[in-house]
Amino acid sequence: MKILGISSGSKNGNNDAMCKEALMGAKEMGADIEFINLHNLDLKYCTGCISCVISLFSGKGNRCVLKDDFEWLLDKMLDADGIVFATPVIVKGTPGIMHTLIDRFGPRMDRGNNIIATKIAEEKGGKIPDTRILKDKVVSYMGIGGSDWTTRIQCDHGLQALTPMWKIINNDVFPWSKGIIMEDEKVARVHMIGINLAKAAKDISSAAYLGEPGVCPHCHSRNFFLNDSASEAICCLCGIIGEIKVIDGKISFEFPEEQLKHAHDTLSGKMIHAEDIQKNEGKNMEQMKTAEFKARVNKYKGFISASMPE
């Protein structure tokens, strides 16, 4: 059983240390362990070119045009049974390099898209995406902050797991933790996160979430998009639409049962989204061939060019 630790903190800083502490816990449970710091890698931003979407939906596999260390990292991630992330809280959420990882997972690693792409490739005799993408995996997150400005980190972390539909075991936040290696209680909690993850990796099918309950009873998120009308709220993580209620001073998020099939972290929700994207991309491709579309593109192209450094 392989457990991979991924830190996006500074070299030998708090996040590296806590990632290694969790790996120590996992090792005690018999895991083979490996540690990666994202800053040692060349990871380019996703430019939104959609070549991954096109290759998925045309039976050409699961391609990204960017040439960097992402394929190396992805191979390590896909090989692991469980992954533990230690992430510094930067401006309340994950730092840019983690966002890059989340973006690069984007449509390319989405489980629904890869199920559809596999089917298309099988039918067309095309390139079948890496079968490890459809394998279950357990994952835990630790957000380590220097203050209590930490309100986005768990939601960001949840988004990382949402795309490939990996099972979250812990999604913990450690505010005021610049000196975490000196705080034995927190270090013990981190150690336990590693133990929890390794135990979960031994039996992924019956592994369960062990983090704090949060507000959304489905995905445990505390982040919501509040609409103007009445009390309608959308869970920022799983996309379920419901109502925020305060009953006896306790906040709750309630939603109709049928919302679950639209949830962005369920296979049915992913299939709905994938089919919508597939239809829309097809429509857009047709539109792009028209003279009117080309004329409008040229209008903006000719208006002004982007300034660049010398």
Ligand X SMILES: Cc1cc2nc3c(=O)[nH]c(=O)nc-3n(C[C@H](O)[C@H](O)[C@H](O)COP(=O)(O)O)c2cc1C
Residues that bind ligand X (CB under 6 A): 9-10, 13-15, 88-92, 144-147, 149-150, 175, 178
Burial class of residue 44, CB neighbours in 10 A (0-12, 13-18, 19+): middle
Residue with Cβ nearer ligand X (87 or 113): 87
State the Cα torsion 86-90-91-93 to the nearest 10°. -20
**C-alpha span between 73 and 82 (Å, rounded):** 14
CB of 94 to ligand X, least distance (A): 10
CB of 179 to ligand X, least distance (A): 10
Task: Give strand pairing partners of 158.
Answer: none
CB of 224 to ligand X, least distance (A): 20
**123 versus 184: smaller Cβ distance to ligand X:** 184
CB of 7 to ligand X, least distance (A): 7
Comparison of 150 and 163: residue with beta carbon closer to ligand X: 150
Give the N- to C-terminal CA distance of the chain in Å, as an integer: 51
CB of 190 to ligand X, least distance (A): 13
Compute φ and ψ for 182, nearest 5 degrees. -95, 0
Work out the widest C-alpha separation in the chain, in whole angstroms: 67
What's the min distance (Å) between Cβ of 29 and ligand X?
24
Q: How far is the CB of 225 from ligand X (least distance, A)?
A: 20
Q: How far is CA 180 from CA 13, 22, 87, 195, in A?
A: 10, 13, 13, 19
Q: How far apart are CA 53 and CA 113, in angstroms?
A: 8
Q: 86 forms bridges with which residues in the sheet? A: 7, 142
Tokens representing residue 159 in the block: 């988004």
Nearer to ligand X, 14 or 100 (CB): 14
Contacts of 284 (CB under 8 A, 6+ apart): none
Q: Running DSSP on this structure, what letter comes out for residue 90?
A: B
Contacts of 282 (CB under 8 A, 6+ apart): none
304: CB partners within 8 A, 6+ apart: none
If you write DSSP's letter for every residue of 138-154 in order, what string do you get? EEEEEEE-SSS--TTHH
**Closest CB to ligand X among 85 and 253?**
85
Cβ proximity to ligand X, 9 vs 107, nearer residue: 9
Residue 214: HSE in the Cβ half-sphere, 13 Å Cα cutoff: 26
Residue 45 or 293: which CB sits closer to ligand X?
A: 45
Nearer to ligand X, 9 or 269 (CB): 9
Closest distance to ligand X from the beta carbon of 127 (Å): 39
| Helix, strand or coil, per DSSP, at residue 59 | coil
